[in-house]
Each structure stands twice: as C-alpha cells, then as structure tokens.
C-alpha cells in the first residue's frame, strides 16, 4: 500500500516523499485509515515500527482540513501528551518534517526549560500542543492554556506514563478537554491497566495490534554474557575494542552509574555522552545531537531518560545493568533494529540477575543465547574500590558472605608495611557489643 492511497493532503504527501518514504509501515497502514475515519484507536506495536507517524500524519491531515475550512479560527485543536522531554522532542521533529508545507503553529510544553516562552507560545494561539504531563498540568493550573476547542487527543507511550505514575495527571488533563473529541492511545503493550484506560478515556476504540505483544523486533539478535559484577567495566571496554560497535547505547540502572561508566570510557579514549535526570535539558539535547551526528560513539542512559531516543543506525544496545522489569528490556532493545534494520542487544547478567532473566524469557516466549566473550579474561581480579564508585549495583552476595568478619574491602592500615605483613600472635576475639557496653557501664559506676 503506497502512502498516496491513504488520501493524505498533497502537501503532507510531498513532505513524506522528501523524507524518503514511499510505503507506510504496518502500524501506519492499519491505524491511519481508522483515525481519518474519525474513530478512537488504541495502537499496540513494538518500539521502532513507526508509531509516531501513525498519529502525526492523521493529525496533520486533520489540521490541513480544518485550516482550509476555517482559516480565521485560532486555538488549539490537537493535543499530544508523552511521558518524557526526549519523546516530546522526537514528536516535534516528526511534526515539523511532515508538516513543513502546512501553515500551522505548534508549541512544545516540557519541564526543564523556561516556562515563559512556552506560555507566550500558548497565548499566541497554536493549533498543536505536544507536552509532558507535569509541565502541562502546571500551566493548566495557572490558566495559561485554553483547550476548549481541542478535537484531537493523543496519549503516546501510555504504558510508560502509567509506569511513571502519571495516571492522576492524565485524568486531570482529560477532564480539562471537551468530551466530544477523538482520542488515540499508543503503547508497546496491551496490559490490563491499558485496557482499563481505554474504557475510561475512549469511546468504542478500534484495537490495532501489530505483531506479538511485547516481543522484540525479529531483526534484533539478543544474547547474554554471564559475568561477575566487578568484570562489567572491563568487559564493556573489551567489546568496544571491536570497530563493529560503532554506535552503541548503554543502559544502566542509576544516574551515578551512568556517569561512572562514561568517565571510564572517556579515560579510555572513547567519545561518550550521557543522558539521565541530573543532566539539564540542554545537556541532554546536546548529548543526543552528538550521538546522532557521530560526534560521540557511545551514549550511556538510564531507562526513563532514554525514552524517545530515535536514532537510526544504532548498532548495539548494551544492558550494562540488567533491567528489573521485562517491559523495560523490550523498550531498551527496541532502540536498535528499527525500521527493519539489524542490530545486536547484549545483556550483562550476574548471579543475582538469573531469576529476572528467566522471568524475561517467559515474558518474550523464548530463551536468550548465552555467550562468552572471545579473548576476555574472566579470571581477572576485582579493581580497587575507588574504580567501582558509588551507585553501582552490589556485587556477588557470595563474595560478601565469604569475606572475614570485620574485613573492609579496599581499606588500608596506617601501620608500617612490616607490621602489616607480619603474622600477629594469637589474638583474643573482640568482645561482643553487649560486653563492651556492660564494661563501660561498670567503669562509669566505679568512677562515681
């Protein structure tokens, strides 16, 4: 099915051709006609299958028709809500690319940037608003928005918004909209919570599900390296020595861990960027821009901050820290293998991750291949404590259990070296805490 058969405005079709596309993806081919027919839609598809264009193109068609019918009317006609700033920026990029020949105005409303320009844009009268829930609720509370004329609502990555606790803001936003509107929801999964949301926000929605639920793209090769915690940094450097790892997205659980990994890679001469919640919006946008342009080879990110990363040609996704939730795994590795391209998804798995790995395999309905890195020394000693840093997930429980009581890993004695190496004479065991407290109490009693 060519795009021409969808009946889109000539100006939109021209922009699609200029972007290099000739045929819609399956989710686009299934969803766009339903949306253009005026139906509510819940679209379920894997990450990287073109979900964004599946709602952006109908919105632009809607705006093109309304702008022709009532050129004098001003005000917001379409509202798109997405969970993160990065995803909002990605949607904005798509809207500008496909709508560049249309005379409409758009505003993005996100946290982390000054409110003033966003307020001024809203007051000037824009046809389309793309926003994150938090900042949008703030501006709605300050009465800076007028959504009385909204005809189109899109909730993108609705599953992630639920995971992030945005259900109350979503309900508040919907209450501020006209009841007579068209509502679209897009999600990577169709959980019971999402189904409940469709009943609450939509009217007899058309369910469009492309491919197996929550199953990673078939073009992504998945495998696991089973490894001790302390070997992760060395294994990552070992893998990055391969020039085929040319555009690599590394996921970690914590922002401190992301910074620590980035420092280690930079010290090894590998250009690296970071995206996490402690980075300013400008820093995050700069890191993403550098990653897209190839100025940095590796981007280290946390889960929430990485939502909306839409970069073509990511060769490898590395789960440096294995995700706690199966849905996060699917979202992570969906950053590679996009639009039928091939990619590799690599996971570092410690003994503590084994149960989570088995749960993931049940979730996706298949096992993941275990591999050993060729030429890597799995018997190397742990690095000094300062190299491991704060915020890293804790290592093997067996190592800690086998450590002698009272031993401090990485500690140094202030005694001379000769005294440190000499075997001490038989030492009496240290008194228990209760005996020490009792001894101090008796001492105070005697002194008095």
Helix or strand run (H / E) with residue 225? strand 220-226
- pLDDT tens for 155-164 read 999 988 887 7
Which of 261, 245, 265 lies closest to 253 in space, CA to CA?
261
Q: Where are the alpha helices (DSSP H) in 190-338?
A: 192-201, 232-240, 255-267, 281-293, 303-306, 326-333
- pLDDT tens for 427-445 read 444 444 444 434 444 444 4
Q: What integer is the mean pLDDT of 312-341?
A: 85
pLDDT at 14: 95
- Residues sharing a CB contact under 8 Å with residue 330, sequence separation 6 or more, in sequence order: 46, 47, 188, 189, 214, 215, 216, 364
The answer to whether 228 and 395 are in contact (CB under 8 A) is: yes
Helix or strand run (H / E) with residue 439? helix 433-447
Compute the distance between CA of residue 249 and CA of residue 243 in angstroms, rounded to an integer.
15
pLDDT at 308: 61
Q: What integer is the mean pLDDT of 334-351?
A: 86
DSSP 16: H
Q: Which of 64-78, 81-95, 279-293, 372-386 has the lowest mean pLDDT?
A: 64-78
Q: Where are the alpha helices (DSSP H) in 244-384?
A: 255-267, 281-293, 303-306, 326-333, 354-364
> Can you tell me which residue has the tokens 């659980």?
253
pLDDT at 163: 76
Q: What integer is the mean pLDDT of 106-121?
A: 92
438 vs 185, which has greater pLDDT? 185
Which of 165, 176, 174 lies closest to 199 in space, CA to CA?
174
CB count within 10 Å of CB 448 equals 5
Predicted confidence band of residue 426 (pLDDT cuts 50, 70, 90) = very low
**Start-to-end C-alpha separation, the chain:** 96
The answer on pLDDT for 176 being more than 90 is yes
pLDDT at 74: 66
Q: Which of 95-104, 156-165, 236-245, 379-388 has the lowest mean pLDDT?
A: 379-388
The answer on pLDDT for 210 being more than 90 is no
The answer on pLDDT for 398 being more than 60 is no
Range among 82-86, 384-388, 408-412 rated most confident: 82-86
* Cα Rg of the chain (Å, integer): 27
The answer on pLDDT for 267 being more than 60 is yes
Q: In what order do the strands lie in the sheet with 272-275?
A: 272-275, 298-301, 248-251, 316-319, 343-349, 220-226, 369-371
* Cross-strand pairs, 153: 79, 183
> How many CA atoms within 13 Å lie on the side-chain side of 230?
17
To the nearest whole percent, how much of the chain has pLDDT over 70? 80
> How many CA atoms within 13 Å lie on the side-chain side of 196?
7
pLDDT at 401: 42
Q: Which CATH class is domain 220-393?
A: alpha beta
The answer on pLDDT for 211 being more than 70 is no
pLDDT at 394: 44
Pull the structure tokens for residue 116.
Answer: 């003033």
- pLDDT tens for 15-73 read 999 988 889 999 999 999 999 999 999 998 876 778 899 999 999 999 998 776 555 55
Compute the distance between CA of residue 392 and CA of residue 33 in angstroms, rounded to an integer.
48
pLDDT at 4: 84
To the nearest whole percent, how much of the chain has pLDDT over 90? 53
The answer on pLDDT for 359 being more than 90 is no
The answer to whether 252 and 227 are in contact (CB under 8 A) is: no
The answer to whether 69 and 212 are in contact (CB under 8 A) is: no
- Residues sharing a CB contact under 8 Å with residue 447, sequence separation 6 or more, in sequence order: none
322 vs 213, which has greater pLDDT? 322
The answer to whether 335 and 247 are in contact (CB under 8 A) is: no
Q: Which of 114-128, 242-256, 298-312 has the lowest mean pLDDT?
A: 298-312
Fold of 3-209: Rossmann fold (3.40.50)
pLDDT at 238: 96
Pull the structure tokens for residue 285.
Answer: 């946008």
Cα angle for residues 245, 308, 213 (degrees, 5° grid):
90
pLDDT at 406: 45
Q: Which of 1-5, 79-83, 127-131 has the lowest mean pLDDT?
A: 1-5
User: Given this chain, do its domains 3-209 and 220-393 carry the same CATH topology?
Assistant: yes
Per domain, the residue ranges of the chain are 3-209, 220-393
Q: What integer is the mean pLDDT of 110-123?
A: 91
Compute the distance between CA of residue 56 and CA of residue 88 in angstroms, rounded to an integer.
12
Q: What integer is the mean pLDDT of 174-187?
A: 95
């Amino acid at each position: 099915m060519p795009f021409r058969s969808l009946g889109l405005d000539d100006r939109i079709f021209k922009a699609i051709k200029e972007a290099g596309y000739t045929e819609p993806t399956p989710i686009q081919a299934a969803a766009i006609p339903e949306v253009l027919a005026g139906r509510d839609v819940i679209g379920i598809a894997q990450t990287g299958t073109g979900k964004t264009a599946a709602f952006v193109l109908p919105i632009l068609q809607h705006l093109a028709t309304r702008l022709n019918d009532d050129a004098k009317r001003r005000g917001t006609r379409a509202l798109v809500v997405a969970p993160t700033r990065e995803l909002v920026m990605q949607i904005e990029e798509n809207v500008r690319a496909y709508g560049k020949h249309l005379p409409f105005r758009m505003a993005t409303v996100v946290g982390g940037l000054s409110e003033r320009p966003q307020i001024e844009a809203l007051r000037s009268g824009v046809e389309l608003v793309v926003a994150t829930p938090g900042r949008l609720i703030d501006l709605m509370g300050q009465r800076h928005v007028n959504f009385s004329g909204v005809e189109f609502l899109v909730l993108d990555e609705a599953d992630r918004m639920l995971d992030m606790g945005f259900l109350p803001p979503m309900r508040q936003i919907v209450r501020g909209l006209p009841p007579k509107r068209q509502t679209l929801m897009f999600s990577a999964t169709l959980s019971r919570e999402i189904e409940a949301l469709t009943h609450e926000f939509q009217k007899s929605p058309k369910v469009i599900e492309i491919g197996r639920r929550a199953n990673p793209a078939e073009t992504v090769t998945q495998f696991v390296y089973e490894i001790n915690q302390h070997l992760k940094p060395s294994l990552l450097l070992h893998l990055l020595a391969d020039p085929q790892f040319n555009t690599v997205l590394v996921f970690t659980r914590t922002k401190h861990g992301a910074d620590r990994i980035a420092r280690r890679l930079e010290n090894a001469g590998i250009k690296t960027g970071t995206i996490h919640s402690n980075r300013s919006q400008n820093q995050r946008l700069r890191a993403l821009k550098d990653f897209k342009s190839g100025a940095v080879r590796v981007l280290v990110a946390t889960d929430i901050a990485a939502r909306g990363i839409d970069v073509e040609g990511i060769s490898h996704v590395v789960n440096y820290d294995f995700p706690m939730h199966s849905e996060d795994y699917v979202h992570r590795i969906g950053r590679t293998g996009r639009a039928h391209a091939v990619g590799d998804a690599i996971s570092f798995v410690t003994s503590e991750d084994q149960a989570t790995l088995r749960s993931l395999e049940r979730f996706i309905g298949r096992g993941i291949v275990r591999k050993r890195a060729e030429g890597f020394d799995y018997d190397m000693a742990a690095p000094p404590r300062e190299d491991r840093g704060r915020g890293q997930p804790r290592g093997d429980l067996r190592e800690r259990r086998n450590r002698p009581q009272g031993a401090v890993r990485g500690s140094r004695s202030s005694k001379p070296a000769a005294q440190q190496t000499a075997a001490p004479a038989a030492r009496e065991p240290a008194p228990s805490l209760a005996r020490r407290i009792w001894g101090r109490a008796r001492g105070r009693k005697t002194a008095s």
